[in-house]
Amino acid sequence: NAGVMQNPRHLVRRRGQEARLRCSPVKGHSHVYWYRQLPEEGLKFMVYLQKENIIDESGMPKERFSAEFPKEGPSILRIQQVVRGDSAAYFCASAGGAEAFFGQGTRLTVV
Amino acid sequence: GQQLNQSPQSMFIQEGEDVSMNCTSSSIFNTWLWYKQDPGEGPVLLIALYKAGELTSNGRLTAQFGITRKDSFLNISASIPSDVGIYFCAGQIGGSEKLVFGKGTKLTVNP
């Protein structure tokens, strides 16, 4: 994963709670992508961020989901009032140029 | 949205066989990347291609950036059981930094 750190690796939340997923990109990388993956399916683009800017959020659900990549600290994907359908693996990818490197993902389970 | 068609969707082969998969698009790409995802893990970058016509190898893997810049293929020679996984193509469309992903090719290798 070339140094892309995601935490937690596994997260269990009850319906209605909030989930916060963190991604620390490769040192020096200024771009982060977030993807969602259901079992046996491909990667679905959610959001593309540069430090302090959202470049493309066309894959983000209109409600309950938000993402940020502050000047200091990790990128955060936040899901409010989680529902069972939010259960999935969430991957971030860190890019400093034409190549992107993925973290190991956070597996969110909503019970 | 941008379309990136990856085929085949899945492949079942015998150990020792060669494998070929490809991605095509109606848009011109500046970069093609090939990733492999093992079960429960994040995608790992296998090969990156930057120029039309470029042919690059990584062990038993060979990938090419199509001359029209609208396609790329990945070949795996003499497959082994650990080649099992999902292979994704990705690329940057001309004029954009955003990575676009294919839906993946799921490879099963029978010993």
Contact at CB, A1 and B88, closer than 8 angstroms: no
pLDDT over 60 (residue A28): yes
Please name which of A1, A10, A7 lies closest in space to residue A76, comparing C-alpha atoms: A7
User: With an 8 Å Cβ cutoff, are B45 and A99 in contact?
Assistant: yes
pLDDT digits (tens, 9 = 90+) for B58-91: 999 999 999 999 999 999 999 999 999 999 999 8
- Whether residue B47 is predicted with pLDDT greater than 60 in this model: the reply is yes
Residues 6 or more apart from B59 whose CB is under 8 A from it?
A: none
CA distance A22 to chain B (A): 15
Cα angle B68, B96, B65 (rounded to 5 degrees) comes to 30
pLDDT of amino acid A76: 98
Mean pLDDT of A91-100: 87
Instruction: Please tell me the distance from the alpha carbon of residue A100 to that of residue B54, in angstroms, as a whole number.
Output: 19
Predicted confidence (pLDDT) per residue in B22-35, tens digit: 999 988 999 999 99
CB contact under 8 A, A98 and B86: no
Residue B99: the pLDDT is: 82
Q: Is the peptide bond before B111 cis (omega within 30 degrees of 0)?
A: no
**For residue B39, what pLDDT is reported?**
86
- Asked if the C-beta of A1 comes within 8 angstroms of chain B's C-beta atoms, the answer is yes
DSSP 8-class letter at B96: -
B45–A93 CB contact, under 8 Å: no
Contacts of A56 in chain B (CB under 8 A): 98
- Res B2: pLDDT: 56
Average pLDDT over residues A87-111: 93
Q: How far is B41 from chain A (nearest CA, A)?
A: 5
Question: Residues 6 or more apart from B57 whose CB is under 8 A from it?
Answer: B63
Distances (CA, A) of B35 to A68, A84, A102, B3, B65: 26, 29, 10, 18, 15
Residues A106, A23: Cα–Cα separation, whole Å: 9
Q: Which of B41, B45, B104 has its CB closest to that of A101?
A: B45
Hey, which residues 14-73 in chain B have their CB within 8 Å of chain A?
30-31, 33, 35, 41-45, 48, 50
Check: CB of residue B98 under 8 Å from CB of residue A56.
yes
Give the CA dihedral B49, B85, A49, A99, nearest 10 degrees. -20
Asked if A102 and B42 come within 8 Å (Cβ–Cβ), the reply is yes
CB neighbour list of residue B65: distance below 8 Å, 6 or more residues apart: B29, B32, B49, B50, B51, B52, B53, B54, B55, B72
Q: What pLDDT sits at residue B101?
A: 87
Contact across the interface for A42 and B88, Cβ inside 8 Å:
yes
